[in-house]
Amino acid sequence: MADKEEEKSEWNEEILVPLDGLDLGNGKKEDDNYDSGDLVPLDWVDPEEYRKLKEERDRLLQEKEKLETEIKTMRDQNARLAAEKLWLKAEKERIRQEYEEKLRATQAKLSEAEQTLKKQQEQSYQETSRQTTAQQYNVGDKITFGSYPFYEDGREKPIDWIILDIDADNNALVISDYCLDNVIYNEYDITWEKSTIRMWLNSTFINDAFTDEQRSRIIESRIENNDNADYGTSGGNDTYDKLFLLSIEDANWYFDSDKDRIAYPTPYAKSEKSVNENLSVSSSYVSKDRGGSCFWWLRSPGKDHYYAASVDDDGNVESYDTFVFFDDLAVRPAFKINLNNL
């Protein structure tokens, strides 16, 4: 070993290379005195073999560097792919949620539209049905609406109404077929606006004869209260009423003859059970030779404010006529209703 160290000391000025199992170019061969990791002079090594080995080493180093670069690139790509995969997954979930939300909103709108269409179709059908029904009515026809005591014992019966007029909107003016009760016009001189009979019609009678739903269908009408044309008696202020009596002008206009104006009291109106403090339609105002027809009130004033006009048992319009406090004339209510609402 000492010889080996001594030999190496002589190479200090020479270029040394690792032996690494190379054949020595000057005839020296690796033997037990030299290890593969020892440094030997360059001129001991076969130059061609050294060059090849150096090139191989450089190639391997380059391949290693290339592989390391490729591995790093693949790792970066994998990281990007993983990130993109996570992003795509999140984006897919966002799109799915957005789609489901839009689908729910669309379905809700569609359901709402279907309900609206169904409702419109039902309303259209009902409107068409009502119009078809209404088109069947003519002036002079009768309709049934509400109920009121009819029989002497107070039992009620549906009220029949005669159609006197139908306007362009299918609003009908109707009057009761029978005289339904007896009520005084007023206790002293008065016009229609302040009369007892007007208040009774639009409070007591309307509540007794009609349901809430039926009352809602009765049209509030502007009532013109003209002066008495024969005597000049003031008719007072115009009013707005749901229920009213015909005027002198109405009774002359809407009936073709006196015969058409003849009316009959119900058994209840003739009984002592009628509304006016147990008083009934007086026999003096009921015609025996005409089958029991009776007098009935009009809203127009008579010869002065102590009198109110009426229709007598012959169907004549009396403009002079009866004291307002008489308690034995009958009542034939009138009102307007749209025939589409029946």
DSSP string, 256-291: SSHHHH-B-B-HHHHSTTSTTTT----GGGB-TTTT
Residue 184 forms part of a structural domain: yes
Q: Do residue 214 and residue 330 come from a single domain?
A: yes
The pLDDT of residue 78: 83
- 132 within some domain: no
What local confidence, expressed as pLDDT, does residue 283 receive?
A: 44
Q: Does residue 162 lie in a domain region?
A: yes
Q: Are residues 41 and 151 in the same domain?
A: no
Q: For residue 43, is pLDDT > 70?
A: no
Q: What does the pLDDT look like over 178-191, one tens digit per residue?
A: 999 988 999 887 89
Residue 33 and residue 157 in one domain: no
Tell me, yes or no, whether 208 lies in a domain: yes
- Within this chain, do residues 165 and 17 fall inside the same structural domain, yes or no? no
Q: Are residues 30 and 147 in the same domain?
A: no
Q: What is the pLDDT of residues 80-138, one digit of tens each?
A: 888 888 888 888 888 888 888 888 888 888 888 888 888 888 887 776 665 555 558 99
331 and 216, same domain (yes or no): yes
Closest CA to 218 of 201, 204, 203, 206: 206
Residues 147 and 271 in one domain: yes
Would residue 137 count as lying in a domain?
Answer: no
Query: Token match 């990791």: residue?
Result: 37
Identity of residue 173: L
Instruction: Say yes or no: 329 and 185 in one domain.
Output: yes
Please give the tally of structural domains in the chain. Answer: 2
Confidence of residue 34 (pLDDT cuts 50, 70, 90): low
The answer as to whether 169 is a domain residue is: yes
In this structure, the answer to whether residues 321 and 201 fall within a common structural domain is: yes
| Domain shared by 157 and 39, yes or no | no
Q: Does any domain span residue 181? A: yes
Enter the pTM of the model: 0.60
Residue 248 lies in a domain: yes
DSSP 212-236: HHHHHHEEPEEE-----TTT-----
Shared domain for 146 and 36, answered yes or no, is no
**Final residue belonging to a domain, choices 45, 64, 79:** 45
Residues 15 and 152 in one domain: no
Domain range for residue 195? 142-341
Chain segment 206-228, per-residue pLDDT in tens: 999 999 999 999 999 999 999 99
